[in-house]
Structure 1
Amino acid sequence: MEKQLPYSMAVLGLLLALGMSGAAFILGVQAKKAVSAQQSVSVKGLAEKAVQADNAEWTATVSITAPDFAQALAKLRQERPGLDAFLVEHGLDKTSWQESGEQVTPHMVDVPLPNGGTRSEQQGFDASQSLVVVTKELAKVTTANKDILSVQATGKPFTATAPSYLVSNLEEIKMSLIGAATENARNRAKEFVKHDGVKVGVMRSASQGAFYILPPGGTSDGDDYGGTYDKTTINKTAKVVVTIVYNIEQ
């Protein structure tokens, strides 16, 4: 028994040494994989291009006030043909109009009280009707919007909102810009790591940030995830921001 003891101890020691070596190797490989998995770079990619509105929406309204309901409605119907004629004269065909219903509502005013303050009091009725012009003839809408001021100066009860100049293929524009912004992001990532002896690997994650439609020369200083849509100009700039995380390979 005394001769077998040293031999048994030697075998046990060898097995322990092998076990520890194997465990160290496994842990080393796992640690290397963990470090490799943590190596990444996050970049923002930008892309923009000039776009042009191809649709316009413009609302013109007849609004009058009269002492009673019947007079208000009659006066509205008397003035409405003048607005129709104005639009036709500017080449805006009736097929482009969307007509709202006639509206007659109490005309309320704030009347001062002797001891201060005010009270709301009805003084006649307001009548109105709107025509929304939807057209691809942007120049005609622009001209009509300018000329309606001259008509108002003659005493006609016409008002108009500023035209909205819209881009119909926004999704197509967005998709093309996302591709360009993704390429821009990879180029930025390469620039970041080119001095470190590593290379940019596969994309780990990606998210689209803001999609901007800006006036010419406009800035996108707002929240990256908010975006803006300028409707006041015909010529615009479309811009997309993406955030992409790439693996870094040794």
Structure 2
Amino acid sequence: MEKQLSYSMAILGLLLALGMSGAAFILGVQAKKAVSAQQSVSVKGLAEKAVQADNAEWTVTVSVSAENFAQALANLRQERPGLDMFLVKHGLDKTSWQEGAEAVTPHMIDVPLANGGTRSEQRGYDASQSIVVTTKDLIKVTAANKDILSVQATGKPFTAGAPLYLVSNLEDVKMSLIGAATENARNRAKEFVKHDGVNVGVMRSASQGAFYILPPGGTSDGDDYGGTYDKTTINKTAKVVVTIVYNIEQ
């Protein structure tokens, strides 16, 4: 009886030992997986490429003054045909125009006071009208913008802002750069860990940072989550930044 009891106790001890060993092994594997899952590397990916504006917006304005409202409006309507002729002469026909409304406003000046300071007084009226030219013919807009000075030199009351050179397919450009920047980020992650005997695993998280449209040779200094859009040049450089976190596998 005692032998049978001793034998049973021995079997029970063996089973308990095996159970504890198995549990320890399972817990060890789970712990290793948990540690491995917590290891990660965060990298920035960059990509850029040359792009070219394919659209332009150019605002030109005629502005005049007169002593009274009616005369200011009459002067505006008298000068406006000259601006139309200038645009048509440069190949910018009316199909590309968006005409603003005629505007007549009081002309205010600051008059010095005897005891110092100034007082605002009305001296006649100002009248103006703007035209926004939108076209894909960038050469014609550029030429007209250069020639506006010679027209102003003749006394014509025309002014113009610098043309805005725009890229119409910005979303397509951005998407192509995101793919390239993501690949760049994985390559960077591999470089970071290649000496540690580990591998870059699946992507844990990703976020797009700044999207830049820069002039040739321009820099992208500044907030990674901001971005800039250069509209002063025809030839540009598009650049995107992404931040990606990868799991590290043992």
**Both structures adopt the same fold (TM-score exceeding 0.5):** yes
1:197 aligns with 2:197: yes
Q: 1:92 to 1:12 in 2, by over 3 A?
A: same
Per-residue deviation, residues 63-97 of structure 1 (Å, max 9, x unmatched)? 11111100100000000000000001111111000
Q: 1:111 to 1:11 in 2, by over 3 A?
A: farther
Q: Percent identity?
A: 89
Query: How far, CA to CA, are the matches of 1:17 and 1:62 in structure 2?
Result: 97
Counterpart position of 2:207: 207
Amino acid aligned to 1:89: K
Q: SS at 1:178's partner residue? A: helix
Counterpart position of 1:248: 248
Counterpart position of 1:99: 99
Counterpart position of 1:39: 39
Per-residue deviation, residues 117-171 of structure 1 (Å, max 9, x unmatched)? 1121111111000000000010110111111011111111100010000000001
Query: How far, CA to CA, are the matches of 1:149 and 1:162 in structure 2?
Result: 12
Counterpart position of 1:87: 87
Q: SS at 1:27's partner residue? A: helix
Q: CA deviation at 1:7?
A: 8.8
Query: How far, CA to CA, are the matches of 2:142 and 2:112 in structure 1?
Result: 42
Q: CA deviation at 1:200?
A: 1.1
Counterpart position of 1:185: 185
Q: SS at 1:145's partner residue? A: helix
Q: SS at 1:128's partner residue? A: strand
Counterpart position of 2:60: 60
Q: SS at 1:154's partner residue? A: coil
1:77 aligns with 2:50: no
1:29 aligns with 2:45: no
Query: How far, CA to CA, are the matches of 2:232 and 2:7 in structure 1?
Result: 93
Amino acid aligned to 1:112: P
Per-residue deviation, residues 21-59 of structure 1 (Å, max 9, x unmatched)? 455334323321211111111111111110000000000
Amino acid aligned to 2:229: Y
Q: 1:4 to 1:108 in 2, by over 3 A?
A: farther
Q: CA deviation at 1:181?
A: 0.7
Corresponding pairs, count: 250
Q: CA deviation at 1:60?
A: 0.3
Counterpart position of 1:132: 132
Query: How far, CA to CA, are the matches of 2:10 and 2:67 in structure 1?
Result: 116
Query: How far, CA to CA, are the matches of 1:37 and 1:104 in structure 2?
Result: 70
Query: How far, CA to CA, are the matches of 1:169 and 1:156 in structure 2?
Result: 37
Query: How far, CA to CA, are the matches of 2:94 and 2:222 in structure 1?
Result: 40
Query: How far, CA to CA, are the matches of 2:191 and 2:30 in structure 1?
Result: 30
Amino acid aligned to 1:217: G
Query: How far, CA to CA, are the matches of 2:12 and 2:107 in structure 1?
Result: 103
Amino acid aligned to 1:67: E
Counterpart position of 1:141: 141
Amino acid aligned to 1:129: Q
Query: How far, CA to CA, are the matches of 1:236 and 1:105 in structure 2?
Result: 40
Query: How far, CA to CA, are the matches of 2:174 and 2:189 in structure 1?
Result: 22
What 5-or-longer segments of structure 2 have no aligned partner?
A: none
Amino acid aligned to 2:43: V
Counterpart position of 2:222: 222
Counterpart position of 1:159: 159
